[in-house]
Amino acid sequence: MKRNKILLLSTLLFAALALLNACKNDDDSGSSAAITDEELYDLAKSTSGFVWYKNSDDFLDMSAGSGHAQPLLRTRYNAKAAAALDSDGKVKAGTTFADGSLIVKELNNNPTTLAIYAVMYKSANDPNADANGWVWAYLNANGSVLSSSTGKGSGCNGCHGQADHIDFTLMNKFFQ
C-alpha cells in the first residue's frame, strides 16, 4: 500500500516536471522565431505602458552625434526596459537590458508629424539579433520599412557601440 502511494506520487511528480518543462519551451524568450518588422511596428506604435526618457514626452533637439536625420526626437521604454531607468528616467549606469526590452525613439520633422520609429528590441535568441542580443529596425510612421530587422543592426550598432554607450544605448551620453 505504502509502496503504491510512493509510486503514484513519483509518477505525479514526473508528470508535473514534464509539464513545467513543456511550458518553459513555449516561452518566447527561448524561441528561435524571428520577430518581424510588422510585429515591431505594432509594438512600437502603442505608447501604453511605456516610460519616457527623463519622464518627459517633450521633444528634444537631436544631438550632435545623432545618425538620425530628423531634428526632433523623444525616446520611450516599455515596462521591461523601464526597469533599467532610475527615478529621473535616465538609464542606470552599467545596465544590461533584459530580454523583452523595447526602446522606441520617435523621430519627428516637427512636433506634430512623426516620421520614423527607431527601434531596439532585446531578444538574445532571435535569429536577427546582433552579437549583443539587440534587434534593430527603422520603420516609417506608416509602417513601411526603412531598415529591416533582418539587417541585424549593421547600419546601427557601429555608431551605437561608441565610447560611453550603455548596452549600446546613447541617450544618457548625449542628453545628460
Angle at the Cα of 135 from the Cα atoms of 163 and 106, rounded to 5 degrees: 75
| Cβ-closest position to ligand HEC | 67
Q: How far is CA 30 from CA 76, 101, 102, 113, in A?
A: 25, 15, 17, 38
The smaller minimum CB distance to ligand HEC, of residues 125 and 148, is found at 148
Kindly state the cell numbers that stand for 174.
548625449
- Could you say whether residue 147 binds ligand HEC (CB under 6 A)? yes
Of 47, 50, 122, residue with least CA distance to 79: 50
Q: Segment contacting ligand HEC (CB under 6 A): 3-11, 16-24, 26-34, 61-69?
A: 61-69
What residues contact residue 168 under an 8 Å CB cut-off, 6+ apart?
120, 132, 134, 157, 160, 161
Q: Which is nearer to ligand HEC, 128 or 169 (CB)?
A: 169
Taking CB under 6 A as the rule, does residue 161 contact ligand HEC?
no
Indicate the residue among 95 and 125 with the shorter CB distance to ligand HEC. 95
Q: Toward ligand HEC, which CB reaches closer, 30 or 49? A: 49
Q: Does 73 bind ligand HEC (CB under 6 A)?
A: yes
